[in-house]
Amino acid sequence: MPYQFVCATDVGRVRPNNEDAVRVDDDLGLAVLADGMGGYNAGEVASQLCCDVVHAMLRQHRHTLDSTPQLALAQAIEQANAAVYLRALTHPALRGMATTVVAVLVRGDHLVVGHVGDSRLYRLRHGQLALLTRDHTLVQEHIDAGRICAREARASRYRNVVTRGVGIAPRVDVDIASHAVAAGDTYLLCSDGLTDMLTEAEITHWLRGCAQGTDAAQALIAAANAAGGRDNLTVALIHCAPGST
């Protein structure tokens, strides 16, 4: 099936440096996005290292991707966790660094998503947006427990407190899921810099209204910057051509 992969990242309007990282590999069918956390420059190191390791591991084991894509993606993220944790442990300036990650591996008419933290995967199908990942955050736990509603969550000062991250501990619990792809689908990977600035209705508007590819990616980033751009902004888009299934 023909897929188009594009990505874009921007420092935003407030932060002095960009702690997000993103990588796409059309040949491998991979998009991976990470949002780093830590002290000076450490977030940048964590996110880039995470993307590099996930990409390298999947390329190294590409012969297994068709038969066991879920296992391969989970193991790649687990290896990234070990790499980030060890780097922070052995370099005092990087102590405490960690990162979120959301990675998508496309195989034929299915995709596998693995994620840790609050970077998200959305699907736009027939003009309707659906969230395919669940945030690993304190606020999401409160929503699940019925303590607050989704509208209150957007205003909570704890909305970005993650409960799971790559590099926090020697081992990490990776959420893995598989989804069937339909012709015309668009998949959006994004850091919380986008979802903190734009509602899902606004994201839907820009994805519907723009041509697929770079135009849509840049439009989302421009809209988030226009809304304040309080954090780094990173997106990756995967589009399945209409009539290809």
Percent of the chain with pLDDT strictly greater than 90: 82
Q: Is 8 a domain residue?
A: yes
Are the C-beta atoms of 13 and 230 separated by less than 8 Å? yes
Residue 142 tokens read as 């409160």
153 falls within a domain: yes
Owning domain of residue 86: 3-240
Tens-digit pLDDT profile for residues 202-218: 999 999 987 667 799 99
Q: How does residue 109 score in pLDDT terms, banded at 50, 70 and 90?
A: very high
Query: For residues 239 and 78, what is the distance between their CA atoms, to the nearest angstrom?
Result: 27
Q: Element (H or E) spanning 200, and its range?
A: helix 200-209
More confident residue, 242 or 83: 83
pLDDT digits (tens, 9 = 90+) for 42-76: 999 999 999 999 999 999 999 999 999 999 999 99
Instruction: Describe the crossing of helices 200-209 and 214-226 by its angle, rounded to 10 degrees.
Output: 140
pLDDT classification of 244: cutoffs 50, 70, 90: low
- Which string of DSSP letters, residue by residue, matches 205-230? HHHHHS-TTHHHHHHHHHHHHHTT--
- Whether 123 has a pLDDT exceeding 70, the answer reads yes
Which has the closest alpha carbon to 100: 52, 165, 5, 161? 165
228's CB contacts (< 8 A; 6+ apart) are 13, 14, 197
Residue 235 lies in a domain: yes
Number of structural domains found in the chain: 1
pLDDT in tens, 172-211: 999 999 999 999 999 999 999 999 999 999 999 999 987 6
Cα–Cα distance list, 206 to 26, 92, 131, 222 (Å): 23, 42, 16, 10
Residue 161: per-residue pLDDT: 84
CATH number at residue 20: 3.60.40.10
245 part of a folded domain? no
Is 37 within the bounds of a domain? yes
Question: In the structure encoding, which two tokens stand for residue 168, read together?
Answer: 């926090």
Cα 210–Cα 213–Cα 218 angle in degrees, nearest 5: 65
Q: Identify the pLDDT of residue 210.
A: 79
